[in-house]
Structure 1
Amino acid sequence: MKTLLVYYSRTGNTRDVASKIAGEMECDVEEIRDTQKRSGIIGTLKSLYQALRETDTVLEPYSRDPADYDLVIIGTPVWAGKPSVPVSTYLKENRSKIKKAAFFCTYGGTGEEGTFRRMAEILESEPLQTMAITEKEMKEGTCDCKIEPFVRELTS
């Protein structure tokens, strides 16, 4: 099965999880790049506000077409109980091209269920698999116990 792993990361947490997934399975990787500046406190506040309002953003051009893949794994940080604005935008722009999807998210508090629900609503289909990794699990180095079964389920 030809697989694409797509993710957006503002702080690096989602990028770290994406790297671990990519290290466990054979897949192409694409980082979603936003044209808006989202660093610092102003960037954080703007990101949360836009997530709550479900506004779209302008993304840099992609290097890979999700239509060329059997499975697209999509990773996002949780912003205000929703997927990040860049990931929501990517899903809206590519929903007709994504045949099968799996989702993962990184988060500090709560919101993974709402994030996955919203991603499924945008795609108009349920994911094959989901995985949520907390910031605490990342700091303690215990997220591998979730990544390995996630990858195993997707590759079996």
Structure 2
Amino acid sequence: MGYNIVYFSRTGVSKRVAEKVANGLDTKAIEVTDNKSWQGILGFIKGGFYATIGKEVSIKINGEIDRSEEYIVLSPLWAGGPAPAIRTFLKGVPSNQVKLVITCDGSNVEKAINKYENKHGKFKENYGIVKHEKNEERVIEEIINSSK
């Protein structure tokens, strides 16, 4: 089974991880963008607000998605859940075909994923890359190995 590697990134962390996973699986990472500016302190505050209230955003998928494949979806953790662009993307794919990867500095990823799954359905697998745990390389290796 092949995978669509799909990501949204504000600071570059989720992009970096997506590219490492894509390289390990010999495929391309596909960026999801929206029509918002999330830069600076105002972007940070606006992002938290949008994430908290579950506000919809228009998205653009910058690449070809193969609907016959499953998904590895990467997103930063914003206010206890995936970024708004990824929330919008996830509405269009079955959650049981998604391996969700959340990147963050130090939040409780498991709690955030459980909260999202309780509303929207269980993911095939989920992972948390937490900066203060220094687990990025280990988790990337785990994702790649479970996806071959």
| Equivalences for residues 1-156 of structure 1 within 5 A | 1-69=1-69, 71-92=70-91, 94-95=92-93, 100-121=97-118, 124=121, 126-137=122-133, 142-155=135-148
- 2:34 is paired with a residue whose SS is coil
Separation (CA, whole Å) in 2 of partners of 1:104 and 1:61: 18
Aligned sequence identity (%): 23
Deviations 1:2-53 (A, max 9, x none): 2100010000011111111112113332100111111010000000011000
Q: Is the 8 A contact 1:109 1:134 kept in 2?
A: yes
TM-score (ref. length: structure 1):
0.83
Amino acid at match of 2:131: E
SS of residue in 2 equivalent to 1:86: helix
Mark the CA change 1:5 to 1:61 in structure 2 (over 3 Å): closer, same or farther. Answer: closer
Change (3 A) 1:114 1:87: farther
How far 1:120 sits from its partner (Å)? 3.4
Instruction: For residue 56 of structure 1, give the secondary structure of its aligned residue in structure 2.
Output: coil
Letter of the 2:78 counterpart: W
Instruction: State the shift of 1:121 in Å.
Output: 4.9
Change (3 A) 1:122 1:2: farther
Q: Report the count of equivalent residues.
A: 148
Runs of 4+ in 1 over 4 A off after TM superposition: none
Alignment partners' CA distance in 1, 2:82 and 2:138: 23
Distance in structure 1 (CA, Å) of the matches to 2:115 and 2:71: 16
Higher strand fraction (1 or 2): 2
Deviations 1:83-125 (A, max 9, x none): 1111001112x125x761101011012131243235535653x
Across the aligned residues of Structure 1 and Structure 2, the Cα RMSD in angstroms comes to 2.1
User: Please, which runs of 5 or more residues in structure 1 have no aligned partner?
Assistant: none
Give the residue type in structure 2 aligned to 1:85: P
Letter in 1 for 2:87: S
TM-score by length of 2: 0.87
Residue 67 of structure 1, CA deviation = 1.7
